[in-house]
């Protein structure tokens, strides 16, 4: 199964009663494992948590910390980029050269590297000397 297909499938499990905007994400790790996540909204935090963060949490919970590619899909006219917080999380856990495919349910795709998605990302190198 492709990452887009995995993200498309899990997207149906998103919990989005307020926005009705379902997002699915899937990551492939250096070991070849695939982890998936969805957005989750709630009354206290109607913006919810993001699909990318859910996939990263599943990956870390399984004991892995590096992904080589990611796919994100939503029902929108154009591919939806991750929010700022998710971009930082993607940068934190991305293997060198990791690609992110942003897709729509109608088939549009945009492929970017993580540095293209978040140029100038904050890294642990910024804390040298602290």
Instruction: Delimit the domains of the chain by residue range.
Output: 3-120
Question: Which of 58, 42, 41 lies closest to 50 in space, CA to CA?
Answer: 41
In this predicted structure, what is the pLDDT of residue 128?
Answer: 81
Rounded CA separation 58/44 (Å)? 23
Residues 6 or more apart in contact with residue 111 via CB below 8 angstroms? 99, 100, 101, 102
Query: pLDDT tens across 32-85, in order?
Result: 999 999 999 987 776 778 899 999 999 999 999 999 999 999 999 999 899 888
pLDDT at 37 (0 to 100): 97
> Taking the model in full, what pTM does it have?
0.91
Q: Please enumerate, by residue number, every residue annotated as part of a binding site.
A: 39-45, 50, 83, 86
- Residues annotated within the binding site for substrate are 39-45
Instruction: Pick out the residues of the known binding site for Zn(2+).
Output: 50, 83, 86
Q: How confident is the model at residue 5 (pLDDT cuts 50, 70, 90)?
A: very high
β-partners of residue 8 are none
Enumerate the active-site residues: 52
- Which among 61, 56, 58 has a CA at the least distance from the CA of 82? 56
CATH 3.40.50.10420 fits 3-120, yes or no: no
pLDDT score at 12? 97
Identify whether the C-beta of residue 37 lies closer than 8 Å to the C-beta of residue 58.
yes
């Amino acid at each position: 199964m492709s990452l887009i297909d995995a993200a498309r499938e899990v997207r149906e499990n998103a919990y989005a009663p307020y926005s009705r905007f379902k997002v699915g994400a899937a990551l492939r790790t250096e070991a070849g494992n695939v982890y998936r996540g969805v957005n989750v909204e709630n009354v206290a935090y109607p913006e919810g948590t993001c699909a990318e963060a859910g996939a990263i949490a599943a990956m870390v919970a399984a004991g892995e910390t590096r992904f080589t590619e990611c796919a994100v899909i939503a029902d929108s006219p154009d591919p939806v980029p991750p929010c700022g917080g998710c971009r930082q999380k993607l940068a934190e856990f991305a293997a060198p050269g990791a690609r992110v495919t942003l897709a729509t349910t109608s088939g549009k795709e945009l492929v970017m590297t993580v540095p293209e998605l978040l140029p100038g990302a904050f890294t642990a190198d910024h804390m040298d000397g602290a």
